[in-house]
Amino acid sequence: MRVTRTVLLLSTLAAPIFAQDNSALLNQQMPNLLDTYKDIHAHPELSHFEERTSALLAGELRKAGYTVTDHVGVYPDGSRAFGVVGILKNGAGPMLLIRADMDALPIVEETGVPYASHVLAKTRSGQEVGVMHACGHDVHTTVLIGTARALAAAKSQWHGTLMLVGQPSEETIDGAKAMLSDHSTNASARPTWSSACTTLTSVPQAPSA
């Protein structure tokens, strides 16, 4: 939890444009973001099967004012991917892409936390496995939602276009390629910068004197 709180905090502290509004924004957003994180953690989905998570992300981006395309991506076998692209245009300027991955791992959760996953699912080869967000993609997706809200709320302080991406199938390494192969959506988009976040298993400590 400490890591989660820290990462959520960092997502709103990262941009200096929020410096003056940080405390109010954090106090307002943190309870809902923690609930969202626990909900995603309790409902993990394997690569290629991120239907619920992508729908949750797409819905939150729409509520935050983004124009959203979901079910983005085509795998080599022709099946659709659950990629999400949210666009927020805010006048002339660069395009910033911010990405979060959404899929979980075939691992039985044994943490014992109240929001632990009890999900069992079948892999694409038909094997039944436990499913767990053991790689932090629940945090990443939650951070993307918090970032989406913060940047939409701060529209008067920046110009350009935001492209927020929910990436499917990061663990199987074929989700990004599937999204890039889908020429029906955002084929002409060329971000000026791209950014993503990841989680650490420890929180840096202040050096001792």
| Contact residues for Zn ion, defined by CB under 5 A | 135
CA torsion, points 175, 4, 164, 194, in degrees to nearest 10?
-80
| Residue number, 111 or 192, with CB nearest to Zn ion | 111
CA 98/CA 194 separation, integer angstroms: 6
CB proximity list for 152: less than 8 A, separation 6 or greater: 64, 65, 66, 88
C-beta of 20: minimal distance to Zn ion in Å?
34
Q: Which residue is nearest to Zn ion (CB)?
A: 135
Nearer Cβ to Zn ion (48/149): 48
Closest distance of CB 188 from Zn ion, Å: 29
Report, in Å, the least distance between residue 200 CB and Zn ion. Answer: 13
Q: Which of 51, 209, 200, 39 is nearest to 135 (CA)?
A: 200
Give 88 or 135: the residue with its C-beta nearer to Zn ion: 135
CB of 199 to Zn ion, least distance (A): 9
Q: How far is the CB of 187 from Zn ion (least distance, A)?
A: 27
Strand stretches in 91-133, DSSP E = 95-101, 120-122, 128-130
Contact 81, 71 (CB under 8 A): yes
Beta strand segments in the chain, E: 67-74, 80-90, 95-101, 120-122, 128-130, 160-167, 193-196
Environment class of residue 90 by beta-carbon count within 10 Å: exposed (0-12), middle (13-18) or buried (19+)?
Answer: middle
